[in-house]
Amino acid sequence: MTALGLLENGQWTKHAEAILWRENPSEWNLDVVGHPMFKRAVETAIETMPPDIQAELDKLTRIDEVALDAAMERERNAHENPPQRTNGLTLFRTKTLSLTREKVAFGIQFDRKIQLDELFFRHWRLADGWLSPTDAKRALNIFHDPLAKAMRRAVMGRIFPETPFAH
């Protein structure tokens, strides 16, 4: 740990903080979102959000009738024309399709939340804020990053309070 610059004189270094926040060992009971540095990072993420990221967030949080109709149609088609085999397993379809707009909306929300997480995984870093498109292409993707998810929840809660599925 010392060779990696994470420990010095028996204590965690400043560089280790982001790693600890990402791992957030439950036994340590860290309050990442309550930490002043995290709160400042939320403010910075909101204030410096690039227009392309803002546009993507706007798109992902808007579920209109057109999106619902298209998802309903995809579900109907998938029910009527299921693949016969997937990974060696035969898929069985039920005789009836119990499809409601509420179920489809929930499915869209679930998918959009994943897309929002992925946007933060690819484009946001604690130390750097929003990555430029070039930097985002070069950066190591941090999938399922609890710190990026916490940032997504905090940012989305502030700029899209009327869209609870996003935070």
Q: Which two tokens stand for residue 67?
A: 């999106």
Report the C-alpha gap between 109 and 61 in whole angstroms: 8
Span 63-85, average pLDDT: 85
- 3-class secondary-structure state, position 80: helix
Res. 3 pLDDT band, cuts 50 70 90: confident
* Type of residue found at 63: I
Q: Which pLDDT tens digit goes with each residue over 53-63? A: 999 999 999 99
For tokens 């905090």, name the residue.
Answer: 154
Q: Which helix (H) or strand (E) holds 12?
A: strand 11-12
pLDDT (0 to 100) of residue 35 = 87
Report the C-alpha gap between 115 and 121 in whole angstroms: 10
Domain boundaries, the chain: 1-30, 32-80+90-166
Mean pLDDT of the chain: 87
